[in-house]
Structure 1
Amino acid sequence: MSQTTAPFHTPADLAEALRLLAAHPEAVPVAGGTDLMVAVNYRLTRPAAMLDLTRLAELREWTDEGDAIRIGSGVPYARITAELATVLPGLAAAARTVGSPQIRNRGTLGGNLATASPAGDGHPPLLATGADIEIASARGTRTVPVEAFFTGPKRSVLQPGELITAVTVPKAAGPQQFLKVGTRNAMVIAVCSLAVALDLDARRLGTGIGSAGPTPLTAPDANLIELPWGRTGLFNDALAEEFGRRVAAAARPIDDVRGTAAYRRHALAVCAARALRRVWTAAHGGSGR
């Protein structure tokens, strides 16, 4: 029995891509294909059509916007790690943990967001720093704060005919950390993950939690913990452990094949205390206390 091949659209630029997507809203955009093609190979999905984004030069560059970096949705993880580690250390650290070198050369931050998996490695650093997602369609462009982007497990605010074109991430204003717990050190889906960003100018703390809820999460109560800004001698283990408790309390984990809800909460508490000690130590010249 013969099988019909789904149409594969190959636009030359962003304008053509948006026109094609408006005419064929059922088409699934594909850049690196590191998530989509796995699902296709396992027959978990069968797109009615695909829209190839690999020729769109507009999506494959990043630009310095002054106080932020605008990253095209087609920029692969390998370039984020190699080119942006100084200005976006948390995101670069997360990008470094994604899959294998081959996956990092193909996989993109835009694809990670479009998949909207609660376990996506790129999501916690974006939440911790307050990134914005740029979304385009034939109707125009809109910007969505990352904390409003995710609506459920593998669901987002993206509408038919829309395409993620860029992510704007504030430059680091202090030390950042990304910690990931998994069954091994590489090529693993996170049991849980955590990003912490310290903003020394605004005296603000940011958090992002992955793989411990129906969507990637922040820990608002943990963000408000009273740090001894400018008084390093008052930072102690009790403060770090309280931060860990607040992060764990913000999680909404479940039991699954990768870990139990109780283990995820415990691991997040440990990671959060460790991450806060590290960013505070880095900010104060090696003195964690």
Structure 2
Amino acid sequence: MRAKRSKQYRKLMRQYEHLGFRTPYQILIDAQIIKDAAQSKLQLGKLLSDALGGAEIKPMITQCCIRHLYTAPTTNPAEQAAKDGWIEVAKAAERRRCGHHELEEPLSALECLSNVVDPKGGGTNKHKYVVASQEQEVRVKMRGIVGVPLVYLKRSVMILEPMAGVTEQAREREEREKMRAGLIGRRGAHAGVKRKLEEEGGAAERGVAREESAPTVKRRKVTGVKGPNPLSVKKAKPEKKKTVASEVEDERATIRKASKSDPQAAEKAIDAATAVNGAVSVDTATDGPRKRKRKRKHPGGSEGEPEVVA
């Protein structure tokens, strides 16, 4: 088998695994595919394993199909020898009881395989069988059943059919359900219960279910008024009480600063103080120090009458 085809078949069987298929794959074979493989001198078991991605297989044959081989007519010793070879291949496969062995005539491959694959007629492959048949009507019937891989021989090459439409739809639907289940599980186990209770609309039942399902979470009690961290706040400095001397010094500093831009600031300050307090000394308003009077002797005077000089 070519590498490209083998890769496609492995990928296809991995898609069937999403529907529940596991190795070893159970393969139902009919009488006609055994005859065609023997006529082309092919190893049927190896071809089936390669068609299913090289996985382990379990060939199975129904009681009706093996009876078709036993009842096949022969006209010469060569046909009888070929018939014996078919029966040996069928005996190597596991016998699948179909429940039709009590009938006088075996059922056709279509009726027997349909009854084994879908016994209740629900359109599902309950036991996960792979069907290997050369009959066209059998393959057409199996395409309408969900999850049935089909295998057949074409010019000495084993072909695995692509997934049927109903099977593809079922696989996509199952993947969506798994994705939805994963999202519900991610939101939390209680989300589905909450939604269900809200749809029912029972207030009392909703309260009881919440108490039973929702875990109790202890909240931390916050006490006190919210505010900045007292350790990170800068402490305010206490205000110093001003004395009379400091107030006088502040006034003088203000007057000196104003006199630099306005030479008449001292006179204006004196006028303002006079208007408020009634009088103020020039020494309090001016910047210069107070002059001290001294005595000196006059050259023309006597010692007892000194002259006062300012």
Normalising by the smaller structure, the TM-score range is under 0.3
Structure number with the higher strand fraction is 1
Which protein, 1 or 2, shows the higher relative CO under an 8 Å CA cutoff with sep ≥ 6?
Answer: 1
The structure with the largest alpha-carbon Rg is 2
